[in-house]
Amino acid sequence: MNFQINDRVVSKKTGLPAVGTIHSLMTVEMWLGRQGKTEVPQRWIDLYPDCGDKLIIGVKFDSPQKPVTLAEYCSGDQNGHSKVFLEEAYRYLPNTICAEYPEDDLEFLDQERKESHVSFIKKKG
């Protein structure tokens, strides 16, 4: 996709209400250097095999969100924790206003999803 700064996007995995605005576009090398890491997270590689060749995109959410779904969080566990333990740990995962995603995990916010998001926010408030 051809994402640009200020495009409105939603994560394919996290979904609504994790709607936000793109605030940064980085190469994988830039992202790794900024994170102090040498390898792309295995979870990303499992989900998006060519993510190493694409952009990492910074998204600022409309309201604080967990950056991953419970299913994503549990699938990233490589220590064999029980589902009950992981669900409890997920509850304490802080909400954030910004998150970074592999390019393939994002899609443009279409009109139908936008209306759904607006409706959700109105019900919440």
pLDDT over 60 at 122, yes or no: no
Q: What is the pLDDT of residues 12-37, one digit of tens each?
A: 877 776 789 999 999 999 999 999 98
Q: What is the pLDDT of residue 54?
A: 92
pLDDT tens per residue, range 41-77: 887 888 889 988 999 999 999 889 888 888 878 887 7
Length of the chain counted residue by residue: 125
pLDDT of residue 112: 54
Across the range 107-116, mean pLDDT stands at 65
Nearest Cα to Cα of residue 67 among 80, 56, 78: 56
Q: With 0-12 CB in 10 A as exposed, 13-18 as middle and 19+ as buried, what is 110?
A: exposed
- What's residue 111's pLDDT? 52
Are 117 and 11 in contact by the 8 Å Cβ rule? The answer is no
pLDDT of residue 36: 92
